[in-house]
Amino acid sequence: MLRRLLFLGLVVAFVWVVHSRFDEIRDLTATLLAGRWPWILSAILLQIVYWVSYALLFRASFAVVGVHSPLRSLIPLVLASVFVNSATPSGGTGGIALFVDDARRRGQSAARAAAGMLLVNIADFGSFLVVLTVGLVILLLLHDLVVYEIVTAFLMYTYVGVMVAVLLLGLWRPDRLRRLLKRVQQGVNRVGAWLRYPTILDENWSDNNSREFEAAANQIAAHPDRLLEMSGIGLIAHVINICTLYSIFLAFNIKGSLGIIIAGYAMTRLFWIISPTPNGIGIVEALMPVVYTSLGLETAGATIITVAYRGISFWFPFVLGFFLLRR
């Protein structure tokens, strides 16, 4: 009964998102129909390869913590998590819950699955920092690096740095990690009390998260080669995305150097991750035409690239993820 109610709520969320973004979806359809279909098809096929490689990253990360996850079951989960994280105000925890619940139903450890999700984020975001650094250097050389890009990039580096630091703390000083997370929990709930919501983080939050960090840290220490494998898969996935973006440039006969394409992808992904809205909905669509225009593209071309890439890399998986959710 509870699962049916939750699914009904997600159906409502799906309808609301599609309705609120209907104009963007209509523009996406018109834009893709205007492109050269061999290159549009190439971009779509590359995205299929990307999602398979992203699922491989999940499988490798789960293997590190001793959770066996078949690739055929991970691909639908990865796509479904795109929908759940975008349509619900869960701060990314909704997607995590899908993987943890799947592991539990297959007789695997839910706690280890949660630790595996942490490794996924570290490998994914850590490998993205390589692409981001290259993109920032390109923007700097083109004298096109602006304040909001610098600030957002700083937040990205800080976010990954904090995850790595907490992971190391879980390896070397687990008792300090537990105390640190306990203070964070108390501080967040104190702020929540001012807003008449004193239990933003439940009483088990610090203990559960400290165990996840400790488990992930110990597994990485025991298998350091696995971290390189995960980072390699993550980097390959980002290269596939860059190739997708290149295909879209070709689909609409828009000239762009390799530097512009890499910098454009780096900024797209940056505003996708560091955003006040889930998966950068509305933010990416608003900022990326400005970024591409500053890199020398005409306004019309910048808008086309943004709409087409965003549609193929996000909206298609979003819709597909909704229909795969029942699985």
pLDDT of residue 191: 63
DSSP state of 142: T
pLDDT tens by residue, 52-66:
999 999 999 998 888
Q: Is the pLDDT of residue 223 over 80?
A: no
Q: Where are the beta strands (DSSP E) in 38-116?
A: none
Name the pLDDT band for 199 (thresholds 50, 70, 90).
Answer: low
CA distances from 81 to 100, 209, 278 (A): 12, 20, 12
DSSP state of 90: S
Name the pLDDT band for 269 (thresholds 50, 70, 90).
Answer: very high
Share of the chain above pLDDT 70, in %: 87
Q: What is the mean pLDDT of the chain?
A: 85
**Single-letter residue type at 303:** T
Q: Per-residue pLDDT averaged across 269-288, rounded?
A: 89
pLDDT of residue 227: 82
Q: Is the pLDDT of residue 91 over 60?
A: no
**Residue 9: CB partners within 8 Å, gap ≥ 6?**
none
**CA 123/CA 120 separation, integer angstroms:** 5
pLDDT tens by residue, 137-161:
999 998 888 999 999 999 999 999 9
**CA 237/CA 247 separation, integer angstroms:** 15
**CA 102/CA 109 separation, integer angstroms:** 10
pLDDT of residue 33: 82
Q: Is the pLDDT of residue 189 over 80?
A: no
9 or 224, which is more confident? 224
State the burial class of residue 223 (Cβ atoms within 10 Å of its Cβ: 0-12, 13-18, 19+).
middle
**CA 214/CA 205 separation, integer angstroms:** 14
Inter-axis angle of helices 224-251 and 205-222, nearest 10: 100
CB 116 within 8 A of CB 61: yes
Provide the 3-class DSSP secondary structure of residue 119: helix
Q: Is the pLDDT of residue 48 over 60?
A: yes
pLDDT of residue 263: 95
pLDDT of residue 7: 57
Name the pLDDT band for 200 (thresholds 50, 70, 90).
Answer: low
Q: Is the pLDDT of residue 226 over 90?
A: no
